[in-house]
């Protein structure tokens, strides 16, 4: 009996595999044929220069983001699976008011751009870190890590005050936002990041893998949405519009702060873009570099995915205001 059953099972499995292979193969063939015939025809009609440029910018932002996003999700999944909660309780001061600046300064250690910091901040919150401290880390990490500061000094040769200004203004913004959240933030705005809990609370390799795949896919989807928005702005907004506003110091600060939001330039590259915006005052360019790593379309999409829309909209708009104010103050003081 046993033997017969295994044989029958084997045959059934083989048949099922055959059916899947035939059906799947036929479907792939059909798709392949349609795409290869229709593709070039459609390409001629739809692949105008702006559309082609849109696709290139869109894929470029996504490709650029994938390694950093993966780094961020590996770190965050490792924190979730292997680092016990009490580690953070020991590392960070008990009082939130003190934990915020410590977490902000700790941003120095994550050598990535902003795509990496969102999942890490999410997993810090899951691990019992006070949201205010995790948010200060979220804002400071992409702006003040060594890679970004070195890039800034390369982009502005002979102007160390630009690097210092960036460091001071970014850190001040991150800490101010942490304190603001501790004082005025409401728990219900923040939907604490959830994820499959089936393997927890045990943690370990299985939790690591399931956390990693979930976080990467989830954040990756939002990265794509953000990249599409950024590519659309890149193609739709004429750059010549910029030159109109270079006259007024106040307008130019606001304009570059808005530009930082829509362009979504990676924080490791934004110094070079800022350096090329030659018509603008140093303070306006500082604002571009302070706002960019903290608020942009791609980040708003990623934060919406991780913390919910109610949070992302409120948090990003206040961060924008604080970042502009702090760059103006630091610019007035240093530049």
Partner 1 sequence: MRRYGPAVLLALVGAAILRVSLFSDLYLRYVQVGLRPYLVVSGVVLVLLAVVVAVLVRTAGEQEDPEVLEDPENPDSHPGHTHGPAGPRVAWFLTLPALALLLFPPPALGSYSADREADRRAARGVGTFPALPAGNPLDLTLGDFGSRAVYDTGRSLKGRTVRLTGFVTRDAGGTWYITRLLVSCCAADATTAKAEVRGAGAPPVDTWVTVTGTWHPEGEPGSDAAWPPVLDATSVRRVPQPDNPYEKR
Buried b (16+ CB within 10 A) or exposed e, 29-43: eeeeeeeeeeeeeee
Residue with Cβ nearer partner 1 (186 or 206): 206
Residue with Cβ nearer partner 1 (63 or 91): 63
| Distance of closest approach, residue 86 Cβ to partner 1, in angstroms | 25
| Distance of closest approach, residue 293 Cβ to partner 1, in angstroms | 13
Helix (H, G, I), strand (E, B), or coil: what is residue 145?
coil
Q: How far apart are CA 269 and CA 235, in angstroms?
A: 19
How many beta carbons lie within 10 A of that of residue 310, not counting itself?
Answer: 14
Q: How far apart are CA 89 and CA 100, in angstroms?
A: 13
| Distance of closest approach, residue 19 Cβ to partner 1, in angstroms | 12
Q: How far apart are CA 121 and CA 316, in angstroms?
A: 15
Residue with Cβ nearer partner 1 (7 or 63): 63
Residue with Cβ nearer partner 1 (86 or 186): 186
Which CA distances in Å does 60 have to 57, 118, 224, 255?
A: 5, 20, 11, 25
Residue with Cβ nearer partner 1 (93 or 272): 272
| Distance of closest approach, residue 113 Cβ to partner 1, in angstroms | 9
Q: Tell me the three-class secondary structure of 158-172, residue by residue.
A: CCHHHHHHHHHHHHH
Structure tokens at 243: 């030159």
| Distance of closest approach, residue 76 Cβ to partner 1, in angstroms | 14
Beta-carbon contacts of 57 under 8 Å, excluding residues fewer than 6 positions away, are 230, 231, 234, 235
Residue with Cβ nearer partner 1 (67 or 84): 67
| Distance of closest approach, residue 106 Cβ to partner 1, in angstroms | 23
Q: What kind and span of H or E run contains 332? A: helix 309-334
| Distance of closest approach, residue 172 Cβ to partner 1, in angstroms | 25
| Distance of closest approach, residue 225 Cβ to partner 1, in angstroms | 6
Residue with Cβ nearer partner 1 (143 or 322): 143
Residue 228: is it exposed, middle or buried by C-beta count within 10 angstroms (0-12/13-18/19+)? Answer: middle
Single out the residue of 140, 129, 44, 134 nearest to residue 94, CA to CA: 129
How many beta carbons lie within 10 A of that of residue 275, not counting itself?
Answer: 17
Q: How far apart are CA 188 and CA 108, in angstroms?
A: 30
Residue with Cβ nearer partner 1 (170 or 210): 210
Question: Which residues make up the interface to partner 1 (CB under 8 A)?
Answer: 35, 39, 43, 49-50, 52-53, 55-64, 66-67, 70, 74, 191, 194-199, 206, 209-210, 212-214, 216-218, 220-222, 224-225, 227, 230-231, 234, 238-240, 242-243, 263-266, 268-270, 272-273, 275-279, 304-305, 308-309
Total residues found in the chain within this entry: 335
Listed in order, strand segments (DSSP E) in 155-312 are: none
| Distance of closest approach, residue 52 Cβ to partner 1, in angstroms | 6
Residue with Cβ nearer partner 1 (180 or 275): 275
């Amino acid at each position: 009996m046993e033997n017969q059953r295994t044989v029958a099972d084997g045959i059934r499995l083989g048949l099922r595999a055959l059916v899947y292979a035939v059906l799947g193969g036929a479907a792939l063939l059909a798709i392949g044929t349609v795409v290869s015939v229709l593709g070039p025809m459609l390409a001629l009609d739809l692949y105008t220069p702006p559309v082609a440029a849109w696709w290139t910018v869109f894929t470029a932002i996504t490709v650029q983001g994938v390694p950093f996003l993966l780094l961020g999700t590996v770190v965050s999944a490792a924190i979730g699976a292997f680092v016990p909660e009490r580690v953070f309780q020991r590392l960070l001061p008990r009082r939130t008011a003190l934990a915020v600046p410590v977490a902000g300064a700790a941003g120095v250690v994550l050598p990535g751009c902003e795509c990496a910091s969102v999942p890490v901040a999410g997993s810090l919150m899951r691990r019992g870190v006070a949201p205010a401290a995790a948010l200060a880390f979220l804002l400071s990490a992409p702006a003040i890590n060594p890679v970004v500061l070195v890039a800034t000094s390369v982009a502005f040769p002979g102007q160390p005050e630009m690097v210092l200004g960036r460091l001071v203004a970014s850190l001040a913004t991150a800490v101010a936002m942490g304190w603001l959240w501790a004082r005025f933030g409401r728990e219900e705005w923040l939907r604490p990041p959830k994820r499959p809990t089936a393997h927890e609370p045990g943690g370990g390799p299985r939790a690591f893998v399931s956390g990693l795949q979930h976080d990467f896919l989830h954040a990756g989807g939002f990265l794509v949405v953000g990249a599409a928005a950024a590519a659309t702005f890149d193609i739709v907004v004429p750059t010549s519009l910029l030159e109109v506003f270079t006259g007024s110091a106040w307008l130019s600060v606001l304009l570059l702060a808005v530009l930082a939001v829509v362009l979504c330039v990676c924080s490791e590259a934004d110094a070079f873009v800022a350096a090329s915006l030659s018509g603008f005052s140093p303070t306006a360019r500082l604002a571009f570099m302070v706002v960019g790593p903290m608020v942009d379309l791609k980040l708003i999409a990623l934060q919406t995915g991780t913390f919910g829309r109610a949070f992302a909209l409120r948090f990003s708009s206040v961060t924008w205001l604080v970042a502009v104010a702090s760059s103006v103050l630091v610019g007035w003081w240093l530049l």
